[in-house]
Structure 1
C-alpha cells in the first residue's frame, strides 16, 4: 500500500465570513483527557474546503484523520458516530463506491509531536449545500491512534479515537 502524502484537514468551527467574503471556521482539537492539541482553520471555496491545522502534543506516527457524522466529543469520542458519508456507500480511497466525504489522507506526526498542514477536501462544504457540515446534529473531526488503510470496511482499521473537534456554527 502506498501512503498518500498530503496535508490533512481538521475541522472545528465557529463559522464566520472572512475578509474575502468566503465562509470560514475555526476550532480547537482536544485529547480524551481535555488537553488542547491545536487549532484548525477552515475556509470555504466554491469547490470544497481548505483546512489549515497547527497541532502539538500528538503521538508520533501515522494517524487516520476523518470527519465523523455527529458533532459530539465525549471522553471516548464514540458519540461522533461513523464517518460522514456524504452519499458514498463505502469507506476508502482504494474501494469502488468510496470514499466517504469524511475520508481524508493520513497525517504523519514527527517525533516532536508538532505538525502543521493544509489540505483541500472537495467533498464537503461550509454551507447548506451538498456535503454541508452543518446538519442538525453537526459533525466532528476525529484523529485515530493508527493509520487508515484506505480499504477496510467500515472505517479503515485506524484504531481508537485519540482526538476530537466538534464543528460548530
Structure 2
C-alpha cells in the first residue's frame, strides 16, 4: 500500500498548515529557500476533507517547468480536475487555499483549452481507477517551486496548495471548468 510509505516522511522537516494539512520539503538550499536548481524537489501530503492522509504530491523542478507526481487514494473512480491554488492552507472544505495562482495581468481565464487561457494554476485532469487510486504525473511551465526562473513561485511567503476536485475539469468553462467541490488538498511550502 502506498500510504505505508508516508511514514518515511517523518524524517523530513514538516510544516503544519491551518487545518490538518502538512507540507514536506526535502531540500536544504545553500542559496536560501527562494532559490531552486534543476532537480530540486519537495513533497506535499495530500489530505481529504476529514483530515485523513490520502497520498502525496512530489514536486521536481525542471529546466522549463515543474513535474508533479500525484499518488492518492480514496477518490471517486473517474476523472478529476487538479489545480494549483494561491495559498498554502488546507482547512476543509479547502476554500482556504484561495483561487488559482494567476498573477499575470490581465488575469488569464481558466482552461488549458481556452483560447484566452490557461491561468497559471491549470493542470491536466487525473484519473482514479476502480479502487479510487490515482498515480499520475503532470507538468506545467507556469509554476516553479522557488523564485528563480520562469513561472509562478509556489514557495512564497504564504505557500500554495495542490487541490484535487470531485469532477473532471472541462478545461474551458469558467471559473473552474465544472470541476466541482475540492475533495483533496496538500500544502506546498518551503521548510
User: By the TM > 0.5 criterion, same fold?
Assistant: yes
Shorter-chain TM-score tier: 0.7 to 0.9
2:162 corresponds to 1:141: yes
Q: Which runs of 5+ in 1 are unaligned?
A: 1-11
| Structure with the greater alpha carbon radius of gyration | 2
Aligned to 1:34: 51
Aligned to 2:128: 109
CA deviations on 1:113-157 (whole Å, 9 max, x unpaired) are 122111211111112144111222221011111111111112212
- In structure 2, distance between residues paired with 1:68 and 1:118: 18
Superposed, 1:68-83 pairs within 5 Å as 68-83=85-100
Which of 16, 31, 45 is the aligned partner of 2:27? Answer: 16
Shift of 1:13: 4.2
CA RMSD between the two structures: 1.9
Which of 132, 139, 149 is the aligned partner of 2:153? Answer: 132
Aligned to 1:8: none
- In structure 1, distance between residues paired with 2:66 and 2:113: 22
2:132 corresponds to 1:121: no
SS of 2:144's equivalent in the other structure is coil
- In structure 1, distance between residues paired with 2:139 and 2:101: 16
Runs of 4+ in structure 1 deviating by more than 3 angstroms, as ranges, are none
- In structure 1, distance between residues paired with 2:114 and 2:132: 31
TM-score (norm 1): 0.85
**Structure 1 or 2: larger helix share?**
2
Aligned to 1:166: 187
Q: Which runs of 5+ in 2 are unaligned?
A: 1-22, 30-36
- In structure 2, distance between residues paired with 1:124 and 1:21: 13
Aligned to 1:3: none
- In structure 2, distance between residues paired with 1:119 and 1:25: 15
- In structure 2, distance between residues paired with 1:31 and 1:99: 26
- In structure 1, distance between residues paired with 2:88 and 2:183: 16
The total of aligned residue pairs comes to 157
Q: Which moved more, 1:135-144 or 1:82-91?
A: 82-91
Aligned to 2:175: 154
